[in-house]
Chains A and B, each alone.
Chain A
Amino acid sequence: MSDTEKGISRRSVLKGAAVGGIGLAAGGSLLAGCAKSKVTGDINFTIRGNLSDAGSKIAIAVNDAYTAKSGNKVISQAVNSDDFQNNFVQIMQGTPDDAFGWMAGWRTNARADAGLLADLSDQVAALGSSLSAAAVQGATNPADGKQYIIPTTYYPWGLHYRKSTMTELGLNPESIATWDDLIKLCEATQKKGLVGYALGDKGGWEAMGTFDILNMRLNGYQFHIDLLNGKEQWTDPKVVEVFNYMGQLIPFMNKNVLDISWDGMRDLLLQKKCGAMMMGSWFANDFLAKSQEDYDDLWIVPFPEINPEHGVDSIDAPLDGIAVAANGKNVEGGKELAEFWGSKEGIDAAVAAGDTNIYISSEFDSSSYDAFNNQKLAVLGAAKNIGFFLDRDTRGDFAGPVVGPAIQSFLKNPKDLTKILDNTQAQWDALPAL
């Protein structure tokens, strides 16, 4: 319970800061909201994923709730998530659906700058203080100070493990607080014949989570963000230090890091084959799908402190939400639907449909949370600075094509580090200005 309070109290504090920024606008459009002429016409909505996914069913439930409230029909179609992401620019230039699930950060801001996404500042303002300042700031495009996404949910990247494994090893699950504790955990699990620190990087992005957190723990959030935006050098000894720490973990990793992807990591933990792993919490539903017992055994803590100067003050917590296409047929309808997703009614509909995600809105009632979800809130609450994950914090033609292969190369041949970092910096320098 105290964990929940911690999470909420952090929000309340940040909320205070937000009021200055958006309070005026919120008041204005809340009034306008009452008198707003009702949007009409069908609204098209893209669901990223399969129709059979739990997420799709939740999305349809929310859209149905909107239809019940507004009388506007919402036509939901499911598309392959990777295809949608990869062809996003082309889709948005054609005849896109009006609204769709999307992610905050570079992927939203760069597309907004290109004029592909509709300005949702009024809707964010209308949701007012139910959104924390951190969430609003996360959804704000630094180029023009407007919001192009209604932030709805987020999830923490943290150290996941099974409580039972820790107990068997004679370790206290709550005490993985320092780097030495983590190494001790890895050594103990390895002695038992298990994988100490599970990692898969076949997809090229999974290990970015470990890189991100090591950089934030060692050098702080600001250095991390500056590095990803070209204000710091990859050849900096501070970055070398990050990779040295990652190198310390390599002996504890499974020997097939480049053979498995995130689902392989999940399976290692699911099958009790590993000690700990750094991952986003979204996979917890798969534990629940296997058995309640497995789900109850799953635990998450903030990645341990390394540099006392930065403690555990930062975390990767990708922010998801709803965006609206500027070229949609029913832009106003899309905006209203997006706002509905962020409202209490929308959230209630999602939760009623079985959504276990953490909603940003303070309207969201977390009293029904189970222990794991409360722990997720606590992990989020422990952090002051929120990163969105490497591929959302830096430009798209740098994250996937440059950083991904660089980390893979390091995992392959740690001795090549100097060459890898020189090259990473050179490739950043060669990028054309945005």
Chain B
Amino acid sequence: MKTAAANKKIRSRRTLSKNDRFTLAAFIGIPTLMQIIFLWLPALITIVLSFTYWNGINVGDIKWAGIANYKNIFFGTPVFYEALKNNAIWLLWFTFIATPLGILLAYQIDRKIKGHKLYETVFYIPVVLSLAIIGIIWNFMFQPGGFIQGIMGRDIGNAISIWGNYDINTYVIMGVASWRHIGYIMLLYLAGLKSVDSSLREASAIDGATEWQTFRKIVLPAMRPVNIIIVVITIIESLRAFDLVYIIYGTSTAWPLLNILVFQNFAGQGISMKGAAYAVILLVLCVGPILLYLRAVFKEDLK
């Protein structure tokens, strides 16, 4: 059987007709070409433009600026560090609070605790909403004149300051963002848990392992592919955060994020290519940790 299958494979490879080859080339070539044209080319152009001054109108007006835009960002723009801080808070919050909570929920629901169907639905509902919609909903809830202020009997004049109160607004934003992220992670993890062979768990239980030991030593390693996806998603979601905050604050950078700085400096106003420089910084931040993580993971696999 084995040899027959192998022979068949070789034969089929040889008998690829001209037509097949053309189809294959088209199926691989066209997406690759589109990827290059619509993703890599603009990315490269953005990188080049980040070293220039340009108002985005006449190509002839592009002036070489060297690292001036970066110098400006790193040494002359305090709002950049505020944005960096907010992105870092977002990442830390997601990594240490939202994501573990999602995993915990998934684990509990997978054990079919009482009412698990209800929990699953309740936590899953926010995931079907985009962050922009979530921004609109919670902005409507908390803003002066909004629903929650209303039921507390506060009008605009004496509304409790939430989005503009810098002692609490970061936590409120994190809470709102987690509302969706927890459900998202729960769903991914639940799908992963279903694929873990239940005999593994039974075996460890027979060997006298505690629940925690089973999770750490058996379930977690068995879920390696899902874990990688979750780490990558958590990092990317934290760095690309934009819509939720944009809906609440607009471009005013009252609560800055790197993406909002990109947008604010690109959107029709800029003379420098500071927006491009922000985008490049963001790209480096996104690609860096993910490449490192993937490399570490694959290295272990090769061993």
A404 touches B252 (CB 8 A): yes
B55 close to A (CB within 8 Å): yes
Tell me whether A268 and B157 are in contact (CB under 8 A).
Answer: yes
Give the shortest distance, in Å, between A165 (CB) and chain B (any CB): 13
Q: Is A427 part of the binding interface, using a Cβ–Cβ cutoff of 8 Å? A: yes
The residue in chain B whose Cβ has the minimal distance to the Cβ of A116 is: B57
B173 to chain A, nearest CB (A): 13
Q: If the complex has contacts A87-B267, A114-B55, are A258 and B163 also in contact, measured as CB distance less than 8 A?
A: yes
Mark each residue of chain B from 129 to 156: 1 if its CB lies under 8 Å from any CB of chain A, else 0: 0000000000000011100000000011
- B156 and A423 form a contact (CB under 8 A): no
Which 6 A/B pairs are nearest by Cβ-Cβ distance?
A258-B164, A204-B252, A396-B269, A273-B157, A259-B164, A86-B267
Tell me whether B288 is interfacial, beta carbon within 8 Å.
no
Q: Does A397 contact B (CB under 8 A)?
A: yes
Q: Which residue of A lies closest to B63 (CB)?
A: A432
Total residue contacts A-B, CB cutoff 8 A = 133
Contacts of B157 in A (CB 8 A): 194-195, 254, 268, 271, 273-274
- In contact, A85 and B164 (Cβ under 8 angstroms): no
- Mask, A263-276, CB within 8 Å of B = 1, is 01001100101100
Enumerate chain B interface residues (CB-CB to A < 8 A): 53, 55-58, 61, 63, 65, 68, 71-72, 76-79, 143-145, 155-166, 249-254, 256, 264-265, 267-272, 274
* Contact status B162-A259, CB under 8 Å: yes
Known contacts A258-B164, A395-B271, A396-B270; decide if A115 and B253 are in contact (CB<8 Å): no
Residue-by-residue, is A330-366 near B (CB-CB < 8 Å gives 1, otherwise 0)? 0000000000000000000000000000000000000
Which single member of B78, B144, B250, B265 contacts A260 (CB below 8 Å)? B144
* Contact for A115 among B57, B166, B265, CB less than 8 A: B57
Identify the stretch in A10-18, A88-96, A130-138, A179-187 within 8 Å (CB) of chain B at 4 or more residues: A88-96
Residues 376 to 434 of chain A near chain B (Cβ within 8 Å)? 395-397, 399-401, 404-405, 408, 412, 423, 426-427, 430-432, 434
Q: Bound state CA distance, A208 and B128, in angstroms? A: 39
Task: Flag if A204 contacts B57 (CB, 8 Å).
Answer: no
Asked whether A257 is an interface residue with its Cβ less than 8 Å from the other chain, the reply is yes
Tell whether, in the assembled complex, residue A264 and residue B145 are in contact, meaning their CB atoms are under 8 Å apart. yes
| B-contact bits for A199-214, CB 8 A (1 contact / 0 none) | 0001111000000000
Q: Please determine whether A255 and B161 come into contact, CB atoms closer than 8 angstroms.
A: yes
A-B contacts, 28 of them at CB < 8 A, read A85-B268, A86-B267, A86-B268, A114-B55, A115-B57, A115-B58, A202-B163, A202-B250, A204-B250, A254-B158, A256-B156, A258-B164, A258-B165, A259-B143, A259-B164, A259-B165, A264-B144, A268-B156, A268-B157, A271-B156, A271-B157, A396-B269, A405-B253, A423-B78, A426-B76, A432-B53, A432-B63, A432-B271
User: B161–A397 contact, CB under 8 A?
Assistant: no
CA of A414 to CA of B91 in the docked complex: distance in angstroms?
30
Decide if B68 touches A432 in the complex (CB within 8 Å): yes
Give the residue of B63, B77, B252, B264 whose beta carbon is less than 8 angstroms from that of A408: B252
C-alpha gap A412/B78 in the complex (Å): 15
| Assembly CA distance A88 to B57 (angstroms) | 11
CB-based contact A273/B155 at 8 Å? yes
Q: Mark A13-51, 1 if CB is under 8 A from B, else 0.
A: 000000000000000000000000000000000000000
In the docked arrangement, what's the CA distance between A427 and B75, Å? Answer: 10
- We find that the number of chain A residues with CB closer than 8 angstroms to chain B is 47
Secondary structure dominating the interface of B: loop
Q: In the complex, what residues of A have CB within 8 A of residue B270's CB?
A: 396-397
Quick one: closest B residue to A419, CB to CB?
Answer: B78
Q: Which of A111-133 contact B (CB under 8 A)?
A: 114-116
Residues of A within 8 A of B79 (CB): 401, 405
Query: A89–B267 Cα gap in the complex (Å)?
Result: 9
Find out whether the CB atom of A259 lies under 8 angstroms from the CB atom of B161: yes
With A86-B267, A267-B145, A397-B265 known as contacts, the answer to whether A202 contacts B254 (CB < 8 A) is yes
Task: Give me 9 other A-B pairs in contact (C-beta within 8 A), A93-B57, A430-B76 excluded.
Answer: A87-B268, A114-B58, A255-B161, A260-B164, A267-B145, A268-B157, A400-B264, A426-B76, A430-B72
**Of listed A204, A256, A405, residue having the most chain B CB within 10 A:** A256
Instruction: Evaluate contact between B56 and A405: CB separation under 8 angstroms.
Output: no
Task: Check A431 against B272 for contact (C-beta < 8 Å).
Answer: yes
Note all chain B residues with C-beta closer than 8 A to A267.
145, 156
Q: What B residues does A423 contact at CB under 8 A?
A: 76, 78
Given the interface contacts A259-B143, A259-B144, A273-B156, does A432 sit within 8 Å of B272 by beta carbon? Answer: yes
Alpha-carbon separation in the docked complex, A255 to B166 (Å): 13
Are B253 and A404 within 8 A (Cβ)?
yes
Q: Which of A205, A256, A396, A404 contacts B161 (CB 8 A)?
A: A256
Pair A202/B269 contact, Cβ less than 8 Å: no
From the candidates A114, A203, A271, A273, name the one contacting B57 in the complex (CB within 8 A).
A114
Digitize A157-199: 1 where CB-to-B-CB distance is under 8 Å, 0 elsewhere: 0000000000000000000000000000000000000110000
Interface contact B144-A89, CB-CB below 8 Å = no
> Whole-angstrom distance between the alpha carbons of A426 and B61 in the complex?
25
- CB of A186, distance to nearest CB on chain B (Å): 14
Chain A residues near B155: list those with CB within 8 A: 271, 273
**Of all chain B residues, which has the CB nearest A413?**
B166
Q: Determine the chain B residues whose CB is within 8 A of the CB of A204 once the complex forms.
A: 250-254
Output the residue of B65, B68, B158, B256 with the most chain A CB within 10 A: B158
Q: Which of B57, B77, B265, B272 has the most CB of A within 10 A?
A: B57
